[in-house]
Each structure stands twice: as C-alpha cells, then as structure tokens.
Amino acid sequence: MRLKALLTQRFTAAMRSAGIPEDCSPMVALSGKPKFGDYQANGSMGAAKRMKTSPRDLAAEILEHIDLEGIAEKLEIAGPGFINIHLSKPFLAENLNQAKPRELEPEDQQTVVIDYSSPNLAKEMHVGHLRSTIIGDSLARVLEYQGHIVKRQNHMGDWGTQFGMLIAELEMHLGEGEQAELALDDLELFYQQSKKHFDEDPDFANKAREYVVKLQSGDAHCRKLWHKFIKVSVAHSLDIYQRLNVGLLEAHIQPESAYNDALETVVDDLSNQGIAVDSDGAKVVFLPELADKNGNPSPMLVKKSGGGFLYATSDLAALRYRVNELHADRILYFIDARQSLHMKQVFITGRKAGYIPKRVRMEHHPFGTMMGEDGRPFKTRSGGTVKLADLLVEAVQRAERLVREKNNNLSEEQVKDIANKVGIGAVKYADLSITRTNDYIFDWDSMLSFEGNTAPYLQYAYTRISSIFRKAGKNPGTISAEIDIIKSQEKALALKLIQFEEVIDQVAIDCYPHTLCTYLYELASVFMAFYEFCPILKKDVPEATQNSRLKLSALSAATLAQGLDLLGIEVMEQM
Ligand code: ARG
C-alpha cells in the first residue's frame, strides 16, 4: 500500500476510536522539513474546531489510539496540534527491498482513450504541436505502466476547405511532370504557394472551391490527389514521432475524415432530439449552460447552410466512436487552452444527446503556449512558424557540441547516440517540467544545462550511478543485499524512493507530468547528497554497508530510468 494511504488509514481508525466524527479527515501530508518528521497528520485542528475542544488535547487523544507499531519510530505533537510522524528506518528498508509496482485490481482497470498530437495535415508540424504530442504521450505511458488499457487516438485534421486548394496546387505540379513526393518535400512551402495562388488567381480559387465539394462527394480524381497529399504529410508526422521517441504509430491515426459517413447521422439525430435547431439554413446547437453574461446561449454550428459539416460535428462523431467502438471509460484530450470552449460545447452536447453514459469521464487537459525569449509566441527570426523538424535537428546539434566539449573518450557512434538522447530529452523535459497550464519560455541554454531541473542533469545523475557499478565491477540488476539505513541521507533517499508510485498515481489522476519531473529532480538531488556523505567503494566501508548502499544506488538508478521513461526520455550508461 502507498505510504500516505497507509498512514491515512491508521490515523482515520485512531480518530474513530477517539470518538471524532466520521467526516473529519486526518489530513496526512508530506512534511515540509525533516525536523517536522517525514509526514504530518494535520487533521486535529479541523476536528477540534468541529468538536469545540483543544486541538493539542485532541492530537494527544489520537496518539492514545494510534497503532503505528513497526511503521513509525517517533510521533510528536507540534505547534497548535500537528502530529509529526518519523518513520522507522527498518520499516523503510523492508519496504524498499520489496519495491515493485502495485498490481491493479481487475475492477480498477480502465480503458483510457487519449486524444493527442492530432495535427492538421494541411501544413507541416510546427512547434505548436509539440506540447500536445509530448504531454499526451507521457500520460499514455503513465496509464499503461499502471496497467490500464490505453487507446491512443491521433485525431489528425485531414479534411476541410484547405484541402481543395492543396489538391488544386498538387494537380498543377503533377501536370508539369513533377513527382508528388518531390512537390511535397517542403509542406510549408507548398502550403504557402497554394495559398498565394488561391489569393491571387481567381480561376485557381474557383477550382479550389469546386475541388472541396468534389472531394467531399467522393469524386475519384480529387480523392486520388488528396490521398497522395495525405500520405506524404502523414509520413512526415510519423518521422517526427520517431525522432521524438513518442509512441504514436500509423495504427493510432483516426483522422477527421474517418467520421465522414457518421456526420449526417449525428446531425439528424441531434435534430430529431431537438438539440440542434435550424438557424438561417444552418443547424446549430444552442447551449444555455454556456450562456454569456447577457444570458445568450452559446452557439455551436454542426452543419453549414451550404451543407458542409464542421470540426464540432467530427468531434461528436468521434465521441460516439470512442464510447461505442473503443469502449472508453475515460477520454482524455490534450489540446491547447484556446479550444476550451469548443471542448465544453462538445462534452455538454455529447451528454445531452446520450452519447456518453454517466460512467464515462471526458477530460480536456489544456496547456499554455510555448514562448520565445522575447516572451511572445515562439517564432523564427523573420516571424514565421518554427518547423518541428528543424527544432529537433537544432536540439541534437546543440547537444552534440556539449557532449564533445565534455568528454572526448567516446566513440563517434556513442557521441551521436548521446547527443540524440540529450537533445531530444532536453526539449521534452523543458516542456514537461513546467506546470502544464502555464505558458513557458523556450530557452536552449537553460534546457541543455547540466545543472538544475533539466533532462541532462537527470541523465547525468543516472550515468554517475552507472559508473559506480562499473568501478565496483558489479551489475545493478543482481545486487541482492539487505538494506540497512544508518545515516540521515540514506533515510531521505529511501523515503524518496518509496514515494515514486504515489507520484505516479497523482499524475495519472490530474495529468500534470511536472509533478513527476519535480520528484525525479528531488530524487537525483537526494541521491547526490547520499553519494557525498555515504561512502560506498572506499576501503574501510564494511561489506554489508557497501552492499546496502549499492542496493540503494541500484534502486535510485532504476527509479530514475523508469521515471524518465514515463516522460519518454532515454538514459545512457555514460555521457
Ligand atoms: N487538429 C486540431 C488542431 O490542430 C486538434 C485536434 C484535437 N482533437 C480533437 N478531437 N479535437 O487544432
């Protein structure tokens, strides 16, 4: 059982025996400082207020009834009535020896659909797609690690008016004898060219409009061109995912066009239920739940007067698919905060229409914007959008320079491998370690620093431990020592290690991966202190102590590697 849960359970029992009402909770929390113990139970104050008695007396009463035999070595009442809990060293040691992930009870296993990355295919992936891609991927890893069934859904935008323009442009290139792959080599440029034609050439614009309609009504020629375009654009995204070490594969792509045949049904159904109504020839859902301050309901268009369907219509169809075909218990959306209203509209309508049973949870987990050093949305020097592909190349190049500066005993192949893991890791970690909902400033120097809360620092801590084992001539996987906790740094390290699963539980619930980053940073720091004060390989260290410390080191390395893996970041044996 998780430590905090165990303490909460014991304190709750003691409070009941002390006659404290059911609804008073013990409020167990981590202590802010070691002198206040490892955990604190802060519930006496609240309970005393309810019972109109003194919190310190109540705390004493709770301690009369508490059973923490073999778990805590000291309990003390502090300040107005806090209970400081000092855990027993043998208890920590014993629990560490058996550290392993909890088995999920079958009834707790959920099918979790995760909608992430989901770029629009009309353009090349740019930095705006980074956050959804890596935050969503981290959550997929965390939930899978816990034993849930994860269904990744890449809701790519492959449909809509822009594609008329793009296929008209492609047709022109092919007509001049060019290969599709070549014409689409630079998707960004291709998009700009076609937009220019669209804006400047009325014949082209008319053709583009005609092609949208033809495409949507299944015209073979338009479909063929569209397929060619989509194929190249998808391949480009898949390449980015691979470079980013993100687990999105072709099989996870369920693009907007996959819902074409369901859109009419959705609109008919909403109309029949009276949820969508006619409005100037269009079909609109009006939502009083989201009314503005003048009481006007919030409108969500589901069918245009000209007959076309919308982003919201596909999202409603996707919801039905996710519930009926994918059997989701929980649906997570990692989308920019600017789409919050859209998500609310879709969720409320999905419930109203009966597409989403009560037991299914829908959660939009928004995030802020990635900013440049000037504090404005990240752009190229000339003000254009930064292609994700270029950004990743630069990350690896910068990391390579650093690796070459630091260590020249590495083979060329090792340098490349390390540069790749450090560069990509740094970009991902810089994003994941910031509270998701905040904007953050993209800064090469700080993300690639070997000091502070960065990927290179954690990767470096891991290599330090690897080098201890190389020196000792031992394999971290096969150390089977009894852990004996003597010094305070050993205790601090043991306590941190035990808390790993608790942190993972938290991330799985609130989908804030920065909590895991903070934890790993603290773990690495606590390890460094342990390493400084608790000699391992020195001559005069008794063998049992040496083995215990090696075991603590091995567990630290394994926990760092596991934690980083849940963030999609790789480690290496040396750097
Ligand atoms: N393609 C959209 C965009 O780039 C994001 C899609 C997010 N997922 C969804 N189900 N709406 O803005």
Q: What are phi and psi of 83, to 5 degrees?
A: -110, 115
Nearest CA to ligand 1 atom 6: 118
Pairing label, strands 361-364, 149-153 = unpaired
Q: What is the CA radius of gyration of the chain?
A: 28
- Please tell me the total number of residues recorded for the chain in this structure: 575
- The Cα 286–Cα 290 span in angstroms is 9
pLDDT averaged per 10 residues, the chain (length 575): 91 95 94 90 95 95 96 96 96 82 85 98 91 98 96 96 95 92 90 95 96 91 96 96 97 97 97 97 97 96 92 97 98 96 98 97 96 89 88 97 89 96 98 95 95 97 97 92 94 95 95 98 97 96 96 96 98 94
- The Cα 297–Cα 93 span in angstroms is 60
- Predicted pLDDT of residue 105: 87
Classify the C-alpha dihedral 330-331-337-339 as positive or negative: negative
Pair 288, 297: CB distance under 8 Å:
yes
Q: What are phi and psi of 566, to 5 degrees?
A: -70, -15
Atom of ligand 1 nearest to the CA of 343: 11
Atom of ligand 1 nearest to the CA of 156: 1
- Predicted pLDDT of residue 407: 77
Which DSSP category does 157 fall into?
Answer: B
Atom of ligand 1 nearest to the CA of 342: 11
DSSP secondary structure letters along 84-143: EEEE-HHHHHHHHHT--PPPPPGGG--EEEEE----BTTS--BGGGHHHHHHHHHHHHHH
Atom of ligand 1 nearest to the CA of 128: 4
CA of 183 to the centre of ligand 1 (A): 26
Pocket test for ligand 1, best of 314, 338, 339 (most atoms within 8 A of CB): 339
Atom of ligand 1 nearest to the CA of 129: 4
Instruction: Find out whether the beta carbon of 335 lies less than 6 Å from any atom of ligand 1.
Output: yes
What would the two tokens of residue 351 be?
């419930």
DSSP secondary structure letters along 281-320: TEEEEEEGGG--TT-PPEEEEEE-TTS-B-HHHHHHHHHH
What would the two tokens of residue 53 be?
């008695």
DSSP secondary structure letters along 365-428: -----EE-TTSSB---TTSPPPBHHHHHHHHHHHHHHHHHHH--SS-HHHHHHHHHHHHHHHHH
User: Dihedral (C-alpha) 201, 202, 206, 209: value to the nearest 10 degrees?
Assistant: 60
Question: In order of start, what are the domains of the chain with their CATH numbers?
Answer: 3-87 (3.30.1360.70), 104-158+160-249 (3.40.50.620), 388-566 (1.10.730.10)
Pocket test for ligand 1, best of 114, 116, 118 (most atoms within 8 A of CB): 118
Instruction: Find out whether the beta carbon of 137 lies less than 6 Å from any atom of ligand 1.
Output: no
Instruction: Find out whether the beta carbon of 414 lies less than 6 Å from any atom of ligand 1.
Output: no
Instruction: Find out whether the beta carbon of 362 lies less than 6 Å from any atom of ligand 1.
Output: no
Pair 145, 101: CB distance under 8 Å:
yes
Instruction: Find out whether the beta carbon of 315 lies less than 6 Å from any atom of ligand 1.
Output: yes
Q: Which residue has the tokens 């950004």?
A: 391
Pocket test for ligand 1, best of 163, 256, 335, 388 (most atoms within 8 A of CB): 335
Instruction: Find out whether the beta carbon of 118 lies less than 6 Å from any atom of ligand 1.
Output: yes
Instruction: Find out whether the beta carbon of 207 lies less than 6 Å from any atom of ligand 1.
Output: no
- The Cα 313–Cα 259 span in angstroms is 9
- The Cα 90–Cα 359 span in angstroms is 43
Pair 7, 87: CB distance under 8 Å:
no
Instruction: Find out whether the beta carbon of 38 lies less than 6 Å from any atom of ligand 1.
Output: no
Helix (H, G, I), strand (E, B) or coil at 521: helix
DSSP secondary structure letters along 33-76: SGGG-SEEE-HHHHHHHHHTS-HHHHHHHHHHH---TTTEEEEE
Atom of ligand 1 nearest to the CA of 311: 11
Helix (H) or strand (E) holding 145, with range, is: helix 130-145
Nearest CA to ligand 1 atom 9: 155
Nearest to 59 by CA among 76, 73, 35: 76
User: Dihedral (C-alpha) 436, 438, 444, 449: value to the nearest 10 degrees?
Assistant: -70
- Predicted pLDDT of residue 481: 87
